[in-house]
Structure 1
């Protein structure tokens, strides 16, 4: 059927519906199909006992853009004198045709914007008794004479059927009843009078009929088929205007709701922290006021996990409270970028286009509107939390970089390394190496969640400025800083080969993977192992204890479960590189370590 439509255009069948001998098929252009929704079909049986369906109607309903369209094909009661029965059939179809939507009866035929009703309506030419029938059916004047007695036009004029429908001008011969295979009207014994049984009617606005005619060349039936062509202006939504109107409506509704809702006033909606430094707490206070004639309850809304109303580097107190009429409450926002939160902050800075705010708090008023409070400022970069590769790309102390500058070095991995090992790492190792007997007892334990020592910030500044002054702390604070320098970057030092290294069977096998690390990571690891091994030789610290602490840091991974077996594997790996009696101590890997360290030292001294 689709192949029989116009050439040069792709069509597809939208829907077909059939009731006995009554059938309706809707075919659409393929490019139009995507704009059609809510397509439904139904039928109403008439005829003998209203059940056999030899008479009745079928219909297809759908929505094209914003317009609802319905096509109805019907076969009404036959015979000249059955005018009232035809009217009843029409009424039954109109009343009984329903189009379900989600189990609800929601659309009737008259609920559409554009309706096209066609078929064998069976209304006849009711000529006055005794009047001579016109001559040959071949001119418009004859057709018009016949149509004066057309039952359909008469019934429509008295609103007994098809109220509100229109029909185009008929300029073709009656389409019934012909001898099959000929263009000759009925020559049988009954000699039925010619009639316009087959019609196309429409109802709706913006419909223009372009053609209305019969096809005399088709002779397979005692009816001649008719066709009509229409141009219909379909209602289409102007998205720009729709969004504008919708926005205005929503604003009006929102204002009306807000005027009748509990609400509080905040002293400010932007909390500015200015320059924020690693391990330096800062506080900001702001007030909220209740100007409603009722008590107002408020709370900061949870955004992600069950207990998180803000990022890890922030703390809000109180998180919820009640305000009596004409009362106020001070809220404190505390910010601390520490070892437990620095990784998350740097990750957010790197993954936020443009300016990165520290957080947005949602102050929820019960039964009222939410208030959004922006917490902003600028983070002063520190070496703690940065990867070894990032630190090797710097051309000046990290403390002289701004947030956007260090972000660029973290995101853009194309700049070449300016040194082969971070200066900050080398400065700590160099200081510790010179302490001799004072190293005894360090590296006993480590937990990044514990508060840092009182001297830590001075050590931070010493590292972030590449200071030439004496180290401002003790060997214990230097060890603390060294462990943090290795533990705080988002990726472990030995990634992306942690899993493989954990399951390596020998030092030689592990060295093949370590050789694939970036130069900064590889050099830091080998230099660290030499330093630790030297301390173990001097009996400054115990090998198994050092292997457990550094193994968990260098081989930390989210893919491994924190189990006893995992910790054992970490310690076993480290012992291969730091234990004095290791069978592979003098293997080729040790020589490589010396070469890497020496190269780093030369670069740093240059």
Structure 2
């Protein structure tokens, strides 16, 4: 799947559809008897569920959810996807994930597993036919559900379900756990065919035995070679300069059955191995064949239950549904960019009959909710005396921040909650959005004389969007010609000490530090050296910052200066990626790709840019050029490759632009960055 920066926030279904088609076509009779139940792509991850068409009438309640645990603990370069469905009367759940990379990041991988267990949540429709199954999940005897609750997750499991609320749960993917030995030692044992020795140092096995990760899962015996890392197109382990140590990064596990579950309801593993003939990747895929008995409720008992329910409804048809909510006001208070907040209210059925509830769109509106708000559950059924926890979640991401920054929208709305055949509740949603420099046009930022957090909303809305850029002042490269936020970040990075850091550009920084940097850009505060070097006093942190600090990744392999520098790079890339119009205007996208053919063409393009945009492009380009030229020789080429990959955010096509071949387009954007850097050499 795509791994470039653009793929982190823009979804392209081309490869997802191609994989679905290829898999179905590979089945018997070109897959004529099969169909896709569900599929979902999250950057580099893709989960597809396929079954026979004959099973279609028996599959229901199919739901998909996903969560990112990558950059800032929410980007999708690392994360997971889950599909939950009901087959006959059994619930099946499939999870795929891509966890943190690198040998020394075991603790982060364990943390990613816990985060995904907590955040992969589905809506659950109560069903009398399977209510006894829900009881077994929620009575404290299910290890997976208990794990989620012990990690401070409070949910109403009557109307929601975790991945563990399933009869069968299969978790697969690039879990990225490594072997705690050097590359040469591992290969020596492989030559002796001593997999048993290597498995003693397998991180996943060690962590599972210690109960630190996947404690409620089982895995079949590993009798196959490590699946990572190979030279693509071969069966030869990595021969590049990095020489990654072979490891079993790709795994398939399943949730253990309850001790008290009948033997016939348990999963049986029939085969577990890798696919050495797959040459497309530096990983070798793994596959597993499993057998499971599916629950099917006796139809006669089902009809008896149905008839009893109909009779109950007839007897209560004259009764009036009644309900109460705990509050009509939901106030999120201050809401920051990319900050997740959650509030809840209680809805109680105070009547004597079943009560149906649902949220409705307001008059003349199609959508029930504004884009910055999510509500769960959106509808449901309550028995007499039953309560439902209704959760309201707000998060402003780059796709919706612009109108909030301009003051054109507010965190403010009225929701209509209807009790069928009864009254409506009107729930007031409010919040105070704190403007951010992320997502504000470059020209507008450059005109601001005070930080965006001090800019009155009405003034921000009325700020003139930069007079004609072509009439801007002389394109001298200095702070005055640049948005102060951009200058501030690059001024921190632009010195020989930073350029000598070997890991610069090659790794992500720290979530806490990235959040601190972003707050400084929004408030205008100067960067505090102690904070950036990791000496932050926790007593001075807000509650939300303390929460982020607990989730921050340990950086034992990097010194403090390197962590701060790479955190600053993360913020710089995110800032450029969030611009409504990139540094190279979208209107000049095709011309920019043509300029990648030669230095002369590149110079002509730079001259044709509006002076202000040209200043910004040259400033960033010269910074990147010097970062490469002054890099330690051992990492210079790797740094250049990473810069080319990351800074394709400087240009992107218009929204309505159709890429004929996304892979070729990606290569052209990278070629543009290379040509830009070449044109600035020796300047």
TM-score interval (norm. to shorter): 0.3 to 0.5
TM-score by length of 1: 0.46
Larger radius of gyration: 1
Please, what TM-score do these two structures have when normalized by structure 2?
0.41
Structure ranking higher on relative contact order (CA contacts 8 Å, 6+ apart) = 2
Name the structure where helix makes up a greater proportion of residues.
2
